[in-house]
Chains A and B, each alone.
Chain A
Amino acid sequence: MKVYAFIHPDLKTLCCAILREAVPEGVEAVELEVESPDDVILDENGQIRVKTEAEKLAEEKERKLGELKRYVATLLEQTDYIIVRIAEAEVNEGTAEAERLRQKYATQLQQRQAIRVWNEQMRQAIRNAKTLEELKSLEIRYG
Protein backbone atom coordinates (compact mmCIF):
# COMPACT_ATOMS: atom_id res chain seq x y z
CA MET A 1 0.00 0.00 0.00
CA LYS A 2 0.98 3.63 -0.44
CA VAL A 3 1.31 5.88 2.57
CA TYR A 4 2.21 9.54 2.85
CA ALA A 5 4.56 9.97 5.80
CA PHE A 6 5.09 13.33 7.45
CA ILE A 7 6.03 14.99 10.73
CA HIS A 8 2.87 16.38 12.26
CA PRO A 9 3.29 20.16 12.75
CA ASP A 10 1.53 20.15 16.14
CA LEU A 11 2.49 16.75 17.52
CA LYS A 12 6.06 16.78 16.17
CA THR A 13 5.72 13.03 15.66
CA LEU A 14 5.75 10.73 12.70
CA CYS A 15 2.41 10.23 11.03
CA CYS A 16 1.35 8.28 7.96
CA ALA A 17 -1.63 9.34 5.92
CA ILE A 18 -3.36 6.35 4.37
CA LEU A 19 -5.14 8.67 1.94
CA ARG A 20 -3.25 11.48 0.26
CA GLU A 21 -5.94 13.99 1.19
CA ALA A 22 -5.36 13.21 4.89
CA VAL A 23 -2.02 15.01 4.79
CA PRO A 24 -2.52 18.36 6.57
CA GLU A 25 -2.50 21.34 4.27
CA GLY A 26 0.91 22.87 3.79
CA VAL A 27 2.73 19.84 5.16
CA GLU A 28 5.28 18.06 3.04
CA ALA A 29 4.79 14.30 2.95
CA VAL A 30 6.95 11.47 1.69
CA GLU A 31 5.17 8.92 -0.49
CA LEU A 32 6.23 5.40 0.41
CA GLU A 33 5.21 1.92 -0.74
CA VAL A 34 4.86 -0.33 2.32
CA GLU A 35 3.22 -3.53 3.48
CA SER A 36 1.91 -1.78 6.58
CA PRO A 37 2.00 1.79 7.89
CA ASP A 38 4.00 0.38 10.80
CA ASP A 39 6.87 -0.22 8.39
CA VAL A 40 7.64 3.52 8.34
CA ILE A 41 10.06 4.93 10.88
CA LEU A 42 11.73 8.20 11.72
CA ASP A 43 15.32 7.13 12.23
CA GLU A 44 17.95 8.62 14.55
CA ASN A 45 19.10 10.89 11.70
CA GLY A 46 15.63 12.46 11.50
CA GLN A 47 14.94 10.74 8.20
CA ILE A 48 11.55 9.24 7.33
CA ARG A 49 12.08 5.89 5.68
CA VAL A 50 10.83 2.33 5.40
CA LYS A 51 12.31 -0.09 7.89
CA THR A 52 15.03 -2.32 6.52
CA GLU A 53 14.42 -6.03 6.31
CA ALA A 54 16.86 -6.51 9.19
CA GLU A 55 14.94 -4.02 11.34
CA LYS A 56 11.64 -5.66 10.50
CA LEU A 57 13.13 -9.07 11.28
CA ALA A 58 14.47 -7.94 14.64
CA GLU A 59 11.17 -6.30 15.53
CA GLU A 60 9.20 -9.34 14.52
CA LYS A 61 11.53 -11.60 16.53
CA GLU A 62 10.87 -9.50 19.63
CA ARG A 63 7.16 -9.62 19.03
CA LYS A 64 7.20 -13.34 18.41
CA LEU A 65 9.25 -14.07 21.52
CA GLY A 66 6.76 -12.08 23.58
CA GLU A 67 3.90 -13.98 22.03
CA LEU A 68 5.66 -17.28 22.80
CA LYS A 69 6.27 -16.25 26.39
CA ARG A 70 2.61 -15.37 26.91
CA TYR A 71 1.48 -18.57 25.23
CA VAL A 72 3.73 -20.83 27.30
CA ALA A 73 2.61 -19.06 30.46
CA THR A 74 -0.99 -19.91 29.67
CA LEU A 75 -0.02 -23.56 29.08
CA LEU A 76 1.85 -23.84 32.35
CA GLU A 77 -0.59 -21.95 34.52
CA GLN A 78 -3.13 -24.75 34.10
CA THR A 79 -0.92 -27.06 36.26
CA ASP A 80 0.74 -24.46 38.47
CA TYR A 81 -1.37 -25.64 41.39
CA ILE A 82 0.53 -28.96 41.37
CA ILE A 83 3.84 -27.18 41.83
CA VAL A 84 2.36 -25.18 44.68
CA ARG A 85 1.03 -28.32 46.39
CA ILE A 86 4.41 -30.10 46.13
CA ALA A 87 6.23 -27.03 47.45
CA GLU A 88 3.83 -26.71 50.37
CA ALA A 89 4.16 -30.43 51.15
CA GLU A 90 7.96 -30.13 51.13
CA VAL A 91 7.80 -27.34 53.68
CA ASN A 92 4.94 -28.50 55.87
CA GLU A 93 4.86 -32.28 55.65
CA GLY A 94 8.36 -33.38 54.65
CA THR A 95 10.08 -34.94 51.70
CA ALA A 96 8.13 -38.14 51.73
CA GLU A 97 4.82 -36.43 51.16
CA ALA A 98 6.36 -34.26 48.48
CA GLU A 99 7.70 -37.36 46.76
CA ARG A 100 4.27 -38.99 46.98
CA LEU A 101 2.76 -36.03 45.22
CA ARG A 102 5.45 -36.09 42.54
CA GLN A 103 4.50 -39.68 41.83
CA LYS A 104 0.81 -38.84 41.83
CA TYR A 105 1.25 -35.98 39.37
CA ALA A 106 4.04 -37.53 37.32
CA THR A 107 2.11 -37.21 34.06
CA GLN A 108 1.42 -33.51 34.53
CA LEU A 109 5.03 -32.89 35.54
CA GLN A 110 6.24 -34.61 32.40
CA GLN A 111 3.87 -32.46 30.35
CA ARG A 112 5.27 -29.32 31.95
CA GLN A 113 8.79 -30.47 31.18
CA ALA A 114 7.81 -31.16 27.58
CA ILE A 115 6.32 -27.67 27.31
CA ARG A 116 9.55 -26.14 28.56
CA VAL A 117 11.58 -28.16 26.07
CA TRP A 118 9.24 -27.09 23.25
CA ASN A 119 9.50 -23.49 24.49
CA GLU A 120 13.27 -23.58 24.31
CA GLN A 121 13.16 -25.09 20.82
CA MET A 122 10.77 -22.37 19.67
CA ARG A 123 12.94 -19.63 21.17
CA GLN A 124 15.94 -20.96 19.30
CA ALA A 125 13.96 -21.27 16.06
CA ILE A 126 12.80 -17.67 16.40
CA ARG A 127 16.28 -16.39 17.16
CA ASN A 128 17.75 -18.37 14.26
CA ALA A 129 15.18 -17.24 11.67
CA LYS A 130 16.91 -15.50 8.77
CA THR A 131 13.89 -14.02 6.99
CA LEU A 132 10.47 -12.63 7.85
CA GLU A 133 8.86 -15.38 5.84
CA GLU A 134 10.70 -17.99 7.86
CA LEU A 135 9.70 -16.24 11.06
CA LYS A 136 6.05 -15.93 10.08
CA SER A 137 5.95 -19.61 9.21
CA LEU A 138 6.73 -20.50 12.83
CA GLU A 139 3.38 -21.19 14.35
CA ILE A 140 3.25 -20.82 18.12
CA ARG A 141 1.09 -23.76 18.95
CA TYR A 142 2.04 -26.60 21.29
CA GLY A 143 1.09 -30.20 20.68
Chain B
Amino acid sequence: MRSHKIFFISALYFLIGIGARSVISFDIFYLFVLALLGFVLAIIFWSKEKSRLLLLGAFFLFFGAWRLEAALPKLTADYLVFYADKIVELTGRIDREPDQTEKYVKIVLADLELNDKGVLKPVVGKILVNAPKYGQEFNYGQTVFIRCEIEKPGKIKAKDPDRRDFDYGHYLKGQGVVMVCYQPFAINSRGITQNAARNFESKVDLLSKAERAYTNLLKMKQKFKTVIDENMSLRESGLLSAMILGYRREILPDLNNAFATTGLTHIIAISGLNITLIAALLFELLGIFGLTRAKSFWLSMLILFFYVLMIGAFASAARAFIMSFIYMYSLKIGRPAKAWNLILLAAVILLLINPLALMFDIGFQLSFLAILGLMIFQPIFSGWFEFVSDKFKIRSMLAMTLSAQVFTLPLIAYYFGRISLIAPLANLLVLPTLPVLTTIGFLMILSGLVWSQLAFTLGLILHFIVWYIIFVAELLSQVPYASIQL
Protein backbone atom coordinates (compact mmCIF):
# COMPACT_ATOMS: atom_id res chain seq x y z
CA MET B 1 0.00 0.00 0.00
CA ARG B 2 1.20 3.51 -0.72
CA SER B 3 2.57 5.35 2.27
CA HIS B 4 0.29 8.35 1.87
CA LYS B 5 -2.69 6.04 2.09
CA ILE B 6 -1.36 4.48 5.27
CA PHE B 7 -0.93 7.91 6.76
CA PHE B 8 -4.43 8.90 5.70
CA ILE B 9 -6.01 5.92 7.43
CA SER B 10 -3.94 6.21 10.61
CA ALA B 11 -4.66 9.91 10.98
CA LEU B 12 -8.34 9.51 10.25
CA TYR B 13 -8.77 6.78 12.85
CA PHE B 14 -6.80 8.82 15.35
CA LEU B 15 -9.25 11.68 14.88
CA ILE B 16 -12.21 9.33 15.12
CA GLY B 17 -10.78 7.94 18.34
CA ILE B 18 -10.54 11.41 19.88
CA GLY B 19 -13.96 12.36 18.57
CA ALA B 20 -15.64 9.20 19.82
CA ARG B 21 -14.16 9.53 23.28
CA SER B 22 -15.14 13.24 23.35
CA VAL B 23 -18.75 12.47 22.58
CA ILE B 24 -19.33 9.14 24.32
CA SER B 25 -18.03 8.40 27.74
CA PHE B 26 -16.87 4.82 27.81
CA ASP B 27 -14.33 2.83 29.71
CA ILE B 28 -11.22 2.80 27.60
CA PHE B 29 -10.64 -0.79 28.73
CA TYR B 30 -13.32 -2.02 26.34
CA LEU B 31 -11.63 -0.24 23.50
CA PHE B 32 -8.41 -1.87 24.53
CA VAL B 33 -10.08 -5.29 24.37
CA LEU B 34 -11.49 -4.39 20.97
CA ALA B 35 -8.09 -3.32 19.74
CA LEU B 36 -6.62 -6.58 21.05
CA LEU B 37 -9.28 -8.54 19.24
CA GLY B 38 -8.47 -6.65 16.03
CA PHE B 39 -4.82 -7.42 16.59
CA VAL B 40 -5.48 -11.17 16.92
CA LEU B 41 -7.75 -11.20 13.88
CA ALA B 42 -5.25 -9.23 11.87
CA ILE B 43 -2.49 -11.69 12.67
CA ILE B 44 -4.67 -14.62 11.71
CA PHE B 45 -5.60 -13.07 8.37
CA TRP B 46 -2.32 -11.22 7.87
CA SER B 47 -2.09 -12.09 4.20
CA LYS B 48 -5.15 -10.01 3.36
CA GLU B 49 -4.58 -6.28 3.00
CA LYS B 50 -7.93 -5.46 4.57
CA SER B 51 -7.05 -7.18 7.79
CA ARG B 52 -3.81 -5.22 8.03
CA LEU B 53 -5.83 -2.06 7.57
CA LEU B 54 -8.12 -3.20 10.34
CA LEU B 55 -5.17 -3.55 12.67
CA LEU B 56 -3.93 -0.12 11.76
CA GLY B 57 -7.36 1.41 12.23
CA ALA B 58 -7.93 -0.30 15.57
CA PHE B 59 -4.56 0.78 16.86
CA PHE B 60 -5.01 4.44 16.00
CA LEU B 61 -8.61 4.46 17.21
CA PHE B 62 -7.35 3.27 20.53
CA PHE B 63 -4.48 5.73 20.50
CA GLY B 64 -6.81 8.67 19.82
CA ALA B 65 -9.23 7.70 22.56
CA TRP B 66 -6.35 7.19 24.94
CA ARG B 67 -4.87 10.59 24.12
CA LEU B 68 -8.10 12.32 25.05
CA GLU B 69 -8.51 10.13 28.12
CA ALA B 70 -5.07 11.24 29.29
CA ALA B 71 -6.09 14.89 28.92
CA LEU B 72 -9.25 14.46 31.00
CA PRO B 73 -8.52 14.72 34.71
CA LYS B 74 -10.38 12.61 37.22
CA LEU B 75 -12.52 14.11 39.95
CA THR B 76 -10.28 13.31 42.88
CA ALA B 77 -8.76 15.48 45.55
CA ASP B 78 -5.93 16.23 43.10
CA TYR B 79 -8.31 17.88 40.70
CA LEU B 80 -8.97 21.59 41.05
CA VAL B 81 -12.70 21.16 40.36
CA PHE B 82 -12.94 19.22 43.61
CA TYR B 83 -12.49 22.55 45.43
CA ALA B 84 -15.28 24.43 43.63
CA ASP B 85 -16.99 27.12 45.70
CA LYS B 86 -14.40 26.83 48.44
CA ILE B 87 -11.93 29.45 49.57
CA VAL B 88 -8.49 28.17 48.69
CA GLU B 89 -4.91 29.37 48.54
CA LEU B 90 -3.12 28.57 45.31
CA THR B 91 0.26 29.20 43.82
CA GLY B 92 0.79 28.78 40.12
CA ARG B 93 2.62 30.03 37.09
CA ILE B 94 1.16 32.29 34.43
CA ASP B 95 1.13 29.97 31.44
CA ARG B 96 0.26 32.35 28.60
CA GLU B 97 0.28 36.01 27.74
CA PRO B 98 -1.99 37.88 30.17
CA ASP B 99 -5.14 39.19 28.56
CA GLN B 100 -5.52 42.94 29.16
CA THR B 101 -9.15 43.92 29.51
CA GLU B 102 -10.46 47.32 30.36
CA LYS B 103 -10.71 46.73 34.10
CA TYR B 104 -8.66 43.60 34.75
CA VAL B 105 -5.73 41.57 33.61
CA LYS B 106 -6.99 38.07 32.96
CA ILE B 107 -4.30 35.54 33.74
CA VAL B 108 -4.29 31.76 33.48
CA LEU B 109 -2.36 29.91 36.16
CA ALA B 110 -0.97 26.42 35.59
CA ASP B 111 1.27 24.04 37.57
CA LEU B 112 -0.93 24.81 40.54
CA GLU B 113 -0.10 24.01 44.11
CA LEU B 114 -2.76 24.15 46.76
CA ASN B 115 -2.13 25.09 50.35
CA ASP B 116 -3.72 22.22 52.25
CA LYS B 117 -3.32 23.06 55.95
CA GLY B 118 0.22 24.28 55.51
CA VAL B 119 1.28 21.58 53.08
CA LEU B 120 1.66 22.47 49.41
CA LYS B 121 0.19 19.82 47.21
CA PRO B 122 0.05 19.84 43.42
CA VAL B 123 -3.39 19.93 41.81
CA VAL B 124 -4.46 19.22 38.25
CA GLY B 125 -6.21 21.82 36.09
CA LYS B 126 -5.74 25.47 35.26
CA ILE B 127 -7.49 28.50 36.67
CA LEU B 128 -8.39 31.86 35.16
CA VAL B 129 -7.94 34.81 37.51
CA ASN B 130 -9.11 38.41 37.21
CA ALA B 131 -6.03 40.20 38.45
CA PRO B 132 -5.96 43.94 39.18
CA LYS B 133 -4.86 46.04 36.24
CA TYR B 134 -2.73 48.48 38.14
CA GLY B 135 -0.35 48.17 41.05
CA GLN B 136 1.26 44.86 40.13
CA GLU B 137 2.73 43.49 36.98
CA PHE B 138 1.70 40.16 35.57
CA ASN B 139 3.83 38.56 32.92
CA TYR B 140 4.16 35.19 31.31
CA GLY B 141 6.12 32.75 33.46
CA GLN B 142 5.66 34.62 36.75
CA THR B 143 4.61 32.77 39.87
CA VAL B 144 1.45 34.14 41.43
CA PHE B 145 -0.18 33.48 44.76
CA ILE B 146 -3.94 33.88 45.17
CA ARG B 147 -6.50 33.43 47.88
CA CYS B 148 -9.91 33.15 46.35
CA GLU B 149 -13.28 31.53 46.34
CA ILE B 150 -13.00 29.58 43.11
CA GLU B 151 -15.96 28.81 40.89
CA LYS B 152 -16.83 26.70 37.90
CA PRO B 153 -17.22 28.94 34.86
CA GLY B 154 -20.79 29.01 33.66
CA LYS B 155 -22.78 30.61 30.90
CA ILE B 156 -22.56 34.33 30.39
CA LYS B 157 -25.91 35.97 29.86
CA ALA B 158 -26.17 37.82 26.58
CA LYS B 159 -26.93 41.51 27.02
CA ASP B 160 -29.24 41.41 24.06
CA PRO B 161 -32.17 39.08 24.87
CA ASP B 162 -32.29 37.96 21.24
CA ARG B 163 -28.78 36.66 21.41
CA ARG B 164 -27.74 33.29 22.66
CA ASP B 165 -25.91 33.04 25.99
CA PHE B 166 -22.21 32.44 25.68
CA ASP B 167 -21.03 29.16 27.16
CA TYR B 168 -17.89 30.43 28.86
CA GLY B 169 -17.19 27.12 30.59
CA HIS B 170 -17.20 25.26 27.27
CA TYR B 171 -14.87 27.81 25.77
CA LEU B 172 -12.43 27.74 28.69
CA LYS B 173 -12.41 23.96 28.85
CA GLY B 174 -10.85 23.82 25.40
CA GLN B 175 -7.89 25.66 26.87
CA GLY B 176 -7.62 23.37 29.86
CA VAL B 177 -9.07 26.00 32.18
CA VAL B 178 -11.53 24.40 34.57
CA MET B 179 -11.99 27.00 37.29
CA VAL B 180 -12.24 30.76 37.55
CA CYS B 181 -11.48 33.26 40.26
CA TYR B 182 -13.37 36.47 39.57
CA GLN B 183 -12.45 38.36 42.71
CA PRO B 184 -9.32 37.24 44.50
CA PHE B 185 -9.26 38.20 48.18
CA ALA B 186 -5.50 38.36 47.90
CA ILE B 187 -3.22 38.22 44.91
CA ASN B 188 0.51 38.56 44.86
CA SER B 189 2.58 38.35 41.76
CA ARG B 190 5.74 38.06 43.76
CA GLY B 191 4.60 34.68 44.91
CA ILE B 192 5.78 34.92 48.51
CA THR B 193 3.26 34.89 51.34
CA GLN B 194 3.52 33.94 54.94
CA ASN B 195 1.52 30.80 54.33
CA ALA B 196 3.09 29.59 51.14
CA ALA B 197 6.73 29.82 52.01
CA ARG B 198 8.80 29.38 48.90
CA ASN B 199 11.70 31.12 47.36
CA PHE B 200 10.24 33.09 44.51
CA GLU B 201 13.47 34.54 43.14
CA SER B 202 14.96 31.13 42.50
CA LYS B 203 11.76 30.10 40.74
CA VAL B 204 12.13 32.97 38.28
CA ASP B 205 15.55 31.72 37.36
CA LEU B 206 14.01 28.36 36.69
CA LEU B 207 12.44 29.69 33.49
CA SER B 208 13.82 27.45 30.82
CA LYS B 209 15.61 28.85 27.79
CA ALA B 210 12.55 28.31 25.65
CA GLU B 211 10.35 30.09 28.16
CA ARG B 212 12.74 33.00 28.33
CA ALA B 213 12.78 33.21 24.55
CA TYR B 214 8.99 33.23 24.58
CA THR B 215 9.04 36.03 27.16
CA ASN B 216 11.15 38.08 24.78
CA LEU B 217 8.80 37.30 21.92
CA LEU B 218 5.90 38.59 24.00
CA LYS B 219 7.83 41.74 24.84
CA MET B 220 8.29 42.32 21.13
CA LYS B 221 4.58 41.82 20.63
CA GLN B 222 3.89 44.46 23.29
CA LYS B 223 6.16 46.86 21.44
CA PHE B 224 4.31 46.22 18.19
CA LYS B 225 1.04 46.84 19.99
CA THR B 226 2.36 50.14 21.33
CA VAL B 227 3.30 51.22 17.80
CA ILE B 228 -0.25 50.54 16.65
CA ASP B 229 -1.81 52.24 19.68
CA GLU B 230 0.33 55.35 19.44
CA ASN B 231 -0.31 55.89 15.76
CA MET B 232 -3.97 55.04 15.36
CA SER B 233 -7.30 55.95 16.93
CA LEU B 234 -8.99 53.52 19.26
CA ARG B 235 -11.44 51.81 16.94
CA GLU B 236 -8.98 51.50 14.09
CA SER B 237 -6.06 50.40 16.23
CA GLY B 238 -8.27 47.76 17.81
CA LEU B 239 -9.13 46.25 14.48
CA LEU B 240 -5.54 46.26 13.33
CA SER B 241 -4.18 44.76 16.57
CA ALA B 242 -6.70 41.97 16.18
CA MET B 243 -5.92 41.37 12.54
CA ILE B 244 -2.17 41.28 12.71
CA LEU B 245 -1.30 40.60 16.34
CA GLY B 246 -4.24 38.47 17.38
CA TYR B 247 -5.52 40.82 20.10
CA ARG B 248 -9.15 40.03 19.41
CA ARG B 249 -10.39 41.62 22.59
CA GLU B 250 -9.33 45.04 21.33
CA ILE B 251 -12.20 45.24 18.86
CA LEU B 252 -15.03 47.39 20.14
CA PRO B 253 -18.27 45.52 20.83
CA ASP B 254 -20.43 47.38 18.29
CA LEU B 255 -17.92 46.68 15.55
CA ASN B 256 -17.72 43.04 16.56
CA ASN B 257 -21.46 42.91 16.23
CA ALA B 258 -21.39 44.45 12.78
CA PHE B 259 -18.79 41.90 11.71
CA ALA B 260 -20.92 39.03 13.01
CA THR B 261 -23.98 40.36 11.18
CA THR B 262 -22.12 40.69 7.90
CA GLY B 263 -20.21 37.42 8.19
CA LEU B 264 -16.84 39.15 8.34
CA THR B 265 -15.73 37.88 11.73
CA HIS B 266 -13.25 35.52 10.06
CA ILE B 267 -11.11 38.42 8.88
CA ILE B 268 -10.10 39.14 12.47
CA ALA B 269 -9.02 35.54 13.01
CA ILE B 270 -5.49 35.16 11.73
CA SER B 271 -5.79 32.18 9.41
CA GLY B 272 -4.78 30.80 6.05
CA LEU B 273 -5.48 34.09 4.30
CA ASN B 274 -2.98 36.03 6.41
CA ILE B 275 -0.45 33.26 6.85
CA THR B 276 -0.01 32.54 3.14
CA LEU B 277 0.14 36.24 2.48
CA ILE B 278 2.85 36.82 5.08
CA ALA B 279 4.78 33.80 3.82
CA ALA B 280 4.72 35.16 0.28
CA LEU B 281 5.64 38.65 1.51
CA LEU B 282 8.61 37.39 3.50
CA PHE B 283 9.73 35.21 0.65
CA GLU B 284 9.72 38.11 -1.79
CA LEU B 285 11.35 40.46 0.71
CA LEU B 286 14.17 38.05 1.49
CA GLY B 287 14.58 37.50 -2.24
CA ILE B 288 15.11 41.24 -2.64
CA PHE B 289 17.88 41.05 -0.02
CA GLY B 290 19.60 38.57 -2.31
CA LEU B 291 19.07 35.34 -0.42
CA THR B 292 18.92 32.11 -2.37
CA ARG B 293 15.52 30.49 -2.73
CA ALA B 294 16.42 27.70 -0.31
CA LYS B 295 17.62 30.13 2.33
CA SER B 296 14.60 32.42 1.83
CA PHE B 297 12.33 29.45 2.27
CA TRP B 298 13.81 28.31 5.56
CA LEU B 299 14.24 31.80 6.95
CA SER B 300 10.71 32.90 6.06
CA MET B 301 9.31 29.71 7.57
CA LEU B 302 11.33 30.33 10.73
CA ILE B 303 10.04 33.89 11.00
CA LEU B 304 6.53 32.69 10.33
CA PHE B 305 6.89 30.05 13.03
CA PHE B 306 7.88 32.70 15.57
CA TYR B 307 5.08 34.93 14.38
CA VAL B 308 2.50 32.19 14.93
CA LEU B 309 3.96 31.54 18.39
CA MET B 310 3.90 35.25 19.14
CA ILE B 311 0.25 35.76 18.35
CA GLY B 312 -0.63 32.88 20.67
CA ALA B 313 -0.62 29.94 18.24
CA PHE B 314 -4.37 29.65 18.16
CA ALA B 315 -5.87 26.91 16.08
CA SER B 316 -6.56 28.77 12.83
CA ALA B 317 -3.08 30.26 12.58
CA ALA B 318 -1.30 27.10 13.66
CA ARG B 319 -3.31 25.05 11.19
CA ALA B 320 -2.47 27.40 8.36
CA PHE B 321 1.19 27.46 9.29
CA ILE B 322 1.55 23.68 9.47
CA MET B 323 -0.28 23.20 6.20
CA SER B 324 1.61 25.83 4.27
CA PHE B 325 4.93 24.70 5.68
CA ILE B 326 4.40 21.05 4.77
CA TYR B 327 2.99 21.96 1.39
CA MET B 328 5.86 24.28 0.46
CA TYR B 329 8.34 21.71 1.73
CA SER B 330 6.71 18.95 -0.29
CA LEU B 331 6.97 21.15 -3.38
CA LYS B 332 10.61 21.76 -2.61
CA ILE B 333 11.44 18.08 -2.46
CA GLY B 334 9.36 17.52 -5.56
CA ARG B 335 6.67 15.32 -4.03
CA PRO B 336 3.56 17.52 -3.74
CA ALA B 337 1.54 16.52 -0.69
CA LYS B 338 -2.06 15.46 -1.05
CA ALA B 339 -4.46 18.09 0.25
CA TRP B 340 -6.38 15.62 2.41
CA ASN B 341 -3.20 14.49 4.08
CA LEU B 342 -2.16 18.06 4.71
CA ILE B 343 -5.38 18.78 6.55
CA LEU B 344 -5.19 15.56 8.52
CA LEU B 345 -1.58 16.12 9.46
CA ALA B 346 -2.32 19.59 10.74
CA ALA B 347 -5.27 18.25 12.74
CA VAL B 348 -3.22 15.39 14.18
CA ILE B 349 -0.39 17.67 15.28
CA LEU B 350 -2.74 20.16 16.92
CA LEU B 351 -4.75 17.42 18.62
CA LEU B 352 -1.66 15.65 19.89
CA ILE B 353 -0.81 18.92 21.62
CA ASN B 354 -4.35 19.64 22.83
CA PRO B 355 -6.88 16.85 22.21
CA LEU B 356 -9.61 18.90 23.88
CA ALA B 357 -9.61 21.31 20.96
CA LEU B 358 -11.65 18.97 18.76
CA MET B 359 -14.61 19.20 21.07
CA PHE B 360 -14.23 22.55 22.78
CA ASP B 361 -12.25 24.97 20.62
CA ILE B 362 -14.65 26.76 18.30
CA GLY B 363 -11.74 28.30 16.43
CA PHE B 364 -10.31 24.87 15.73
CA GLN B 365 -13.62 23.54 14.47
CA LEU B 366 -14.38 26.54 12.27
CA SER B 367 -10.90 26.64 10.83
CA PHE B 368 -10.89 23.00 9.75
CA LEU B 369 -14.45 23.11 8.48
CA ALA B 370 -13.64 26.17 6.41
CA ILE B 371 -10.63 24.55 4.79
CA LEU B 372 -12.61 21.36 4.13
CA GLY B 373 -15.34 23.41 2.49
CA LEU B 374 -12.80 25.23 0.36
CA MET B 375 -11.24 21.99 -0.77
CA ILE B 376 -14.42 20.23 -1.70
CA PHE B 377 -16.64 22.98 -3.00
CA GLN B 378 -14.41 25.66 -4.48
CA PRO B 379 -13.92 23.79 -7.78
CA ILE B 380 -17.65 23.03 -7.95
CA PHE B 381 -18.72 26.60 -7.25
CA SER B 382 -16.19 27.96 -9.71
CA GLY B 383 -17.96 25.85 -12.31
CA TRP B 384 -21.38 27.11 -11.29
CA PHE B 385 -20.29 30.71 -11.51
CA GLU B 386 -18.96 30.42 -15.07
CA PHE B 387 -21.31 33.25 -16.03
CA VAL B 388 -19.64 35.67 -13.58
CA SER B 389 -16.70 37.48 -15.06
CA ASP B 390 -13.38 36.75 -13.40
CA LYS B 391 -12.24 40.31 -13.77
CA PHE B 392 -10.67 41.47 -10.49
CA LYS B 393 -10.93 37.81 -9.44
CA ILE B 394 -14.61 38.28 -8.62
CA ARG B 395 -15.51 34.73 -9.56
CA SER B 396 -12.77 33.06 -7.54
CA MET B 397 -13.51 35.24 -4.53
CA LEU B 398 -17.18 34.43 -4.72
CA ALA B 399 -16.46 30.72 -5.00
CA MET B 400 -14.02 31.01 -2.12
CA THR B 401 -16.34 32.79 0.30
CA LEU B 402 -19.26 30.51 -0.45
CA SER B 403 -17.33 27.27 -0.29
CA ALA B 404 -15.62 28.22 2.97
CA GLN B 405 -19.07 28.68 4.47
CA VAL B 406 -20.67 25.42 3.44
CA PHE B 407 -19.57 23.58 6.57
CA THR B 408 -19.00 26.51 8.91
CA LEU B 409 -22.47 27.97 8.51
CA PRO B 410 -24.31 25.22 10.41
CA LEU B 411 -21.76 25.36 13.20
CA ILE B 412 -21.99 29.15 13.46
CA ALA B 413 -25.76 28.85 13.52
CA TYR B 414 -25.49 26.27 16.29
CA TYR B 415 -23.11 28.28 18.47
CA PHE B 416 -24.30 31.82 17.86
CA GLY B 417 -27.84 31.31 16.61
CA ARG B 418 -27.31 33.70 13.76
CA ILE B 419 -26.75 33.35 10.04
CA SER B 420 -25.47 36.16 7.88
CA LEU B 421 -27.17 36.40 4.52
CA ILE B 422 -25.16 39.32 3.28
CA ALA B 423 -21.82 37.64 3.90
CA PRO B 424 -20.95 36.95 0.23
CA LEU B 425 -21.38 40.61 -0.72
CA ALA B 426 -19.55 41.85 2.37
CA ASN B 427 -16.67 39.49 1.73
CA LEU B 428 -16.50 40.44 -1.91
CA LEU B 429 -16.13 44.07 -0.89
CA VAL B 430 -13.70 43.57 1.96
CA LEU B 431 -11.40 40.70 0.97
CA PRO B 432 -9.48 42.60 -1.75
CA THR B 433 -8.31 45.17 0.80
CA LEU B 434 -6.78 42.62 3.14
CA PRO B 435 -3.47 42.10 1.31
CA VAL B 436 -2.87 45.85 1.24
CA LEU B 437 -3.91 46.20 4.86
CA THR B 438 -1.70 43.37 6.06
CA THR B 439 1.30 44.56 4.06
CA ILE B 440 1.12 48.16 5.24
CA GLY B 441 0.22 47.01 8.74
CA PHE B 442 3.38 44.92 9.03
CA LEU B 443 5.48 47.65 7.51
CA MET B 444 4.09 50.02 10.11
CA ILE B 445 4.78 47.91 13.19
CA LEU B 446 8.29 47.12 11.95
CA SER B 447 9.12 50.70 11.03
CA GLY B 448 7.73 51.85 14.38
CA LEU B 449 10.71 50.22 16.06
CA VAL B 450 13.26 52.24 14.12
CA TRP B 451 11.63 55.21 12.42
CA SER B 452 8.53 56.54 14.12
CA GLN B 453 7.79 59.16 11.44
CA LEU B 454 7.37 56.45 8.83
CA ALA B 455 5.14 54.46 11.16
CA PHE B 456 3.03 57.57 11.69
CA THR B 457 2.63 58.13 7.95
CA LEU B 458 1.77 54.50 7.30
CA GLY B 459 -0.68 54.71 10.18
CA LEU B 460 -2.45 57.57 8.42
CA ILE B 461 -2.82 55.52 5.26
CA LEU B 462 -4.02 52.52 7.25
CA HIS B 463 -6.83 54.57 8.77
CA PHE B 464 -8.46 54.88 5.40
CA ILE B 465 -8.37 51.18 4.63
CA VAL B 466 -9.68 50.35 8.07
CA TRP B 467 -12.39 52.98 7.68
CA TYR B 468 -13.43 51.36 4.44
CA ILE B 469 -13.76 47.95 6.11
CA ILE B 470 -15.68 49.41 9.05
CA PHE B 471 -17.84 51.41 6.66
CA VAL B 472 -18.76 48.31 4.65
CA ALA B 473 -19.45 46.28 7.81
CA GLU B 474 -21.61 48.97 9.39
CA LEU B 475 -23.46 49.86 6.22
CA LEU B 476 -24.28 46.28 5.29
CA SER B 477 -25.24 45.38 8.84
CA GLN B 478 -28.00 48.01 8.55
CA VAL B 479 -29.53 46.29 5.54
CA PRO B 480 -32.79 44.54 6.45
CA TYR B 481 -32.35 40.77 6.74
CA ALA B 482 -28.57 41.16 6.67
CA SER B 483 -28.63 38.32 9.16
CA ILE B 484 -31.36 36.13 10.53
CA GLN B 485 -31.77 35.09 14.11
CA LEU B 486 -32.58 31.43 14.64
Q: Do A and B come from one complex?
A: no
